[in-house]
Structure 1
Amino acid sequence: MRKKRFLPMLLLLAFSVGHAFAQKPVPERPRILISTDIGGTDPDDNQSMMHYLLYSNEFDCEGLVSSPSFGDGDKSEILRMIDIYEEDLPKLKQHARRYPSPEYLRSITKQGRHGAAPLVGYSTPTEGSEWIVRCARKNTARPLYVLVWGGLDDVAQALHDAPDIARKIRVYWIGGPNKKWGINAYVYIIEHFPDLWMIENNSTYRSFIAKYKQDDRWNGGFYDHYVKGCGFLGEDFFNYLGGKPKLGDTPSLLYMMDGDPSDPCRESWGGSFEKYSYTPRVVFSHQTTARDTAQIYSIIEWHVKGPVRKDIPVGTECITLDIARQKWQGYYMGDGNYMVKYSTYKVGTQPYTITSDIKGFPQQQGFITIENVFPGKHRSTDYRTGAQWYSDKVAPELFYDNNQGAMTVYKWRKDAIEDWGKRCQWLKYTDIKK
């Protein structure tokens, strides 16, 4: 008898262990607002928008904001994708309830800022920033999770205009390269709202990006295996990178679908994070060489002493940093002081120049070495963060493909991709009810 019962118990134990870290229920239906640079220079926002639309029945989405895209993106691109979703909606409703109506989604689609915020980090309110304030101020105990897929500019504007919302919103930001594009907004938030609930995901998300040379169904073969022939959204998906999944913003959605989002330190499809007490700010007042170092994703400032110009207002763009084949504008700070800020996700030694059309400006040509560690060495110039600021886990064993913390997403990647693949099939087959 004991032998007959022993094998089933072993099988039950094995099943339990194997599923100990499966997708976990969300304690309450999350309120979300998505801020996206869709339609700009990176087509992966369109891919992640499709992901959201297929799972939109899982959330109480209160806003879709078109934020700085540094391209041609604006809310018309969100509306175009809602039109496509409307054509697929009858099939989706055969499988799940609570899919939002296209009319509702259009009503919450708002235009945010075009282009980056000025040096101070904010400017004038936008339709998008005002909508963030309106949603955050709703009379509910449930927090509003703001999922930022691009720059933080509209979030910074909303916080400037309505500081009281800082205690009512929780921000999950896909940072990394987005930090350099919206550097002034980031600096404004961390300087003025260090106690904000923030997940600063600089590198954890990067392991969700497919390896295109691998033709398996989780990477380069994703479109052919899961998406091809799946409705109007599936057809549209091919327009972005030829159907090759990048999906850099999707981990923010996955985070909201797996377990309690109020705990960033937990295991989840969208990553696991840890508390930070500071993030790095490195300040140079000299022409740097390869021996000068800064951390990846840090805020790097070069300060240059030059001509005193009483005719140039403080904050005027008047100098140019040329680095990594990109140009970044710097500012006049008054009393002959000039400054440019930069952030990068590329490691190694990089050459740079700082130039200006201002007569007598001392042009610089130097190097900077970027180390693959964040937050790394603590300096007196660093930004202090409060008890609710989280970022990528620092343990060496959690690096994946040289990206810090990325193993906390990569370990669940196949599960998340396969789950999405099954939902894509809802657009293809209509004979299975849920």
Structure 2
Amino acid sequence: MNLKALTSICLFFAASTILTAQQSVPVKPRILISTDIGGTDPDDNQSLTHFLMYSNIFNTEGLISSPSYGNGSKQEILRMIDLYEKDLPKLKKHIKDYPSPDALRKVTKQGRHGAAPYIGYTTATEGSDWIIKCASKKSTQPLWVLVWGGLEDLAQALHDAPEIKSKIKVYWIGGPNKKWSASSYAYIAQNFPDLWFIETNGSYYGFFSDHGVPEKLKGKNYYDNYIQAAGHLGADFKNYYKGEIKMGDTPSLLYMMDGNPADPFKESWGGSFEKLSHSPRIILNHSTTLSDTITVYALLDFQFKGPVIDIPADSACFKMTVKAGIGIQEWDGFYLGNGNYGLKYAAKETEVLSYQISSKIPGFPEQSGQLVVDNIWPGKKRPTDYQLGANWYTDKVDPGLFDGIRQGAKTVLKWRNEAMLDWAKRWEWLR
């Protein structure tokens, strides 16, 4: 065999490997999406557009508005379904079994507005009740709960019906969402450590990284090259980041589309993960300085004593103002009873943060401090950590899989081009 022929064969097999990298999914998965769409970050709108265009490959049992921060509501989900309805005739020319718009509207529910208090849950919502109802169905398959925002409705459902823990599997986009939903995360990790749970704090960033991405597929160029206002969904897409791709929640869908989702160790469009045996919890009951270093994504549990006051336990009664980078944000703190006060927080990235704790309560122990956030998750073990069961998974710690400062991001980034080109085919259907 001559060199030219051998080269051609090698190129053929290389191309075949690329084309067949996506693996078949054993069965059409049952999914429920909990999203903070319509809140402060419009990337959920981008991800919901992607979901709607691929909704034929899922059994969708719930679309829940769960804005732990911001003003999101189920009306925004319903608005997106209206756009999908207008594009559906074109989509169905290529694939027949897309869900009807009315079927999607029927499973769209309103969850909790705002973060849970220190205890991690409050009262049932339409959304949390729907999680329980879907999880309680008789089925040989688990219900996959894909969480794109806060964990409040999931935590509430587990609190109200703890028996559903064996019937669900969770893929959670953590990172900044962990900061907004720290109390609910702590409740789940402490009380349901044996839940099947993927916690991706860094891997999902790989989907909107442009490192090594061809020019046409880069986030700022994809809209003009592939979407081009195709259909009603395409015209609407320009309203989010002016069409630049972010879609930080989409890896949860990609994970369900590529191979057996029950195997978190596999390589997939939505990442590859490893077991997490302990989730860092750091109790802070003293003022901190720049000599204090904490673990990125760790649960920071501020606890301190103050005056005994006559208000219900778990009432918001003080504020923590945090300055990190160039941003300033404010967080509620809570009275725990008997002169005890507490607040939960999680830092989303390597940074130096400054905080100030204050209240109008007479005699309240106001304080301020600083913390250095490292970039090693989960880091060293501490006696105060949440001890997790056999089925909690997270971003791979291999330094070679970091994309910049984002742990595990290359496990998603390596498949980004393939996933985006696949999506481009469906945009072509809407022309």
Quickly say closer, same or farther: Cα 1:225–1:5, change in 2 above 3 A. closer
Quickly say closer, same or farther: Cα 1:4–1:281, change in 2 above 3 A. closer
Shift in Å, 1:118: 2.1
| Distance across 2 between alignment mates of 1:17 and 1:226 | 23
Shift in Å, 1:114: 1.4
Q: Does 1:386 align with 2:407?
A: no
2:178 is paired with a residue of what secondary structure?
helix
Matched to 2:69, the amino acid is F
Residues 30-429 of structure 1 aligned to structure 2 (within 5 Å): 30-211=29-210, 216-309=216-309, 311-324=310-323, 325-428=328-431
1:411 is paired with a residue of what secondary structure?
helix
2:199 is paired with a residue of what secondary structure?
strand
Larger displacement relative to structure 2 (152-161 or 11-20): 11-20
Shift in Å, 1:21: 6.7
* 1:277/1:385 contact within 8 Å kept: yes
* 2:229/2:236 contact within 8 Å kept: no
| Distance across 1 between alignment mates of 2:125 and 2:340 | 32
Quote the residue 2:13 is aligned against: 14
* 2:71/2:113 contact within 8 Å kept: no
Shift in Å, 1:17: 7.3
| Distance across 2 between alignment mates of 1:136 and 1:364 | 44
Q: Deviations over 1:412-433 (max 9, x none)?
A: 11111111111111101xxxxx
* 1:35/1:148 contact within 8 Å kept: yes
| Distance across 1 between alignment mates of 2:7 and 2:369 | 68
| Distance across 2 between alignment mates of 1:21 and 1:403 | 27
2:216 is paired with a residue of what secondary structure?
coil
| Distance across 2 between alignment mates of 1:219 and 1:397 | 23
| Distance across 2 between alignment mates of 1:108 and 1:333 | 37
Matched to 2:276, the amino acid is Y
| Distance across 2 between alignment mates of 1:247 and 1:402 | 19
* 1:39/1:69 contact within 8 Å kept: no
Quickly say closer, same or farther: Cα 1:8–1:224, change in 2 above 3 A. closer
Matched to 1:387, the amino acid is A
1:417 is paired with a residue of what secondary structure?
helix
| Distance across 2 between alignment mates of 1:409 and 1:264 | 13
Shift in Å, 1:12: 7.7
Matched to 1:115, the amino acid is G
Quickly say closer, same or farther: Cα 1:401–1:21, change in 2 above 3 A. farther
1:245 is paired with a residue of what secondary structure?
coil
Quickly say closer, same or farther: Cα 1:411–1:215, change in 2 above 3 A. closer
* 1:218/1:417 contact within 8 Å kept: no
Matched to 1:94, the amino acid is K
Q: Deviations over 1:66-122 (max 9, x none)?
A: 112522211111111111101100100011121001111111111111112222212
| Distance across 2 between alignment mates of 1:229 and 1:322 | 41
TM-score by length of 2: 0.94
Matched to 1:383, the amino acid is Y
Q: Deviations over 1:19-71 (max 9, x none)?
A: 49711111111111111111111100000000000000111111111112522
* 2:68/2:181 contact within 8 Å kept: no
Q: Deviations over 1:133-192 (max 9, x none)?
A: 111111111111010000111111111111111000000000111111111111111111
| Distance across 2 between alignment mates of 1:313 and 1:358 | 14
Give the root-mean-square deviation of aligned CA atoms. 2.1
Quickly say closer, same or farther: Cα 1:21–1:195, change in 2 above 3 A. farther
| Distance across 1 between alignment mates of 2:100 and 2:19 | 36
Shift in Å, 1:130: 1.1
Larger displacement relative to structure 2 (194-203 or 183-192): 183-192
| Distance across 2 between alignment mates of 1:345 and 1:5 | 52
Matched to 2:311, the amino acid is I
Matched to 1:229, the amino acid is A
| Distance across 1 between alignment mates of 2:264 and 2:429 | 31
Shift in Å, 1:211: 4.8
2:24 is paired with a residue of what secondary structure?
coil
Matched to 1:295, the amino acid is T
Larger displacement relative to structure 2 (216-225 or 95-104): 216-225
| Structure 1 unaligned regions, length at least 5 | 429-434
* 1:333/1:339 contact within 8 Å kept: yes
Quote the residue 1:432 is aligned against: none
**How many pairs are equivalent?**
426
Shift in Å, 1:346: 2.8
After TM superposition, which residue ranges in structure 1, 4 or more long, deviate above 6 angstroms? 2-6
Q: Sequence identity of aligned pairs in percent?
A: 55
Larger displacement relative to structure 2 (331-340 or 112-121): 331-340
* 1:214/1:220 contact within 8 Å kept: no
Larger displacement relative to structure 2 (181-190 or 379-388): 181-190
| Distance across 2 between alignment mates of 1:84 and 1:313 | 45
| Distance across 1 between alignment mates of 2:224 and 2:5 | 44
